[in-house]
C-alpha cells in the first residue's frame, strides 16, 4: 500500500514538473522545473529497478543538461522580447 502511494506520488510529481517546465513563461523557472523533473525521473528509474539508468539520468539529465540550459537561459535573458528580470538575477 505504501509503495503504491509512493509510486503514485512520483508519477504525479513527474507529470506536474513536466507540465510546469513546458508551460512556464519564465525560461529560468522552466529550466529549474526541468532539473526537478530529472531528479524525479531518476527516482522513478530506481523504483523500476534500473539503478544504472538512474545514475545516468541524475548525472547527465538533471545535472549537466541543467547547467548547460541555465547557461543558455542567461544568454537569452538579455535578448529582446523578454520581460526584465527582478533585479537579483541581473
**Residues making contact with another protein (CB under 8 A):** 51-52, 54-56, 59-60, 63-64, 67-68, 71-72, 74-75, 78, 87-90
Smallest gap, in angstroms, from Cβ of residue 14 to another protein? 16
Smallest gap, in angstroms, from Cβ of residue 13 to another protein? 21
Residue 31, exposed/middle/buried by CB under 10 A (0-12, 13-18, 19+)? buried
Smallest gap, in angstroms, from Cβ of residue 43 to another protein? 15
CA separation for the pair 53, 40 (Å, rounded): 13
Q: Which is nearer to another protein, 10 or 69 (CB)?
A: 69
Q: Rg for the chain (alpha carbons), in Å?
A: 15
Q: Which is nearer to another protein, 9 or 50 (CB)?
A: 50
Q: Which is nearer to another protein, 81 or 87 (CB)?
A: 87
CA separation for the pair 69, 77 (Å, rounded): 12
DSSP alpha helix (H) spans, the chain: 2-23, 27-47, 51-56, 65-76
Amino acid at each position: 500500500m505504501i509503495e503504491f502511494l509512493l509510486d503514485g506520488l512520483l508519477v504525479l510529481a513527474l507529470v506536474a514538473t513536466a507540465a510546469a517546465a513546458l508551460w512556464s513563461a519564465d525560461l529560468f523557472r522552466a529550466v529549474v522545473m526541468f532539473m526537478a523533473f530529472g531528479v524525479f525521473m531518476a527516482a522513478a528509474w530506481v523504483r523500476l529497478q534500473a539503478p544504472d539508468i538512474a545514475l545516468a539520468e541524475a548525472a547527465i539529465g538533471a545535472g549537466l543538461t541543467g547547467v548547460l540550459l541555465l547557461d543558455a537561459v542567461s544568454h537569452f535573458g538579455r535578448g529582446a522580447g523578454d520581460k526584465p528580470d527582478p533585479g537579483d538575477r541581473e
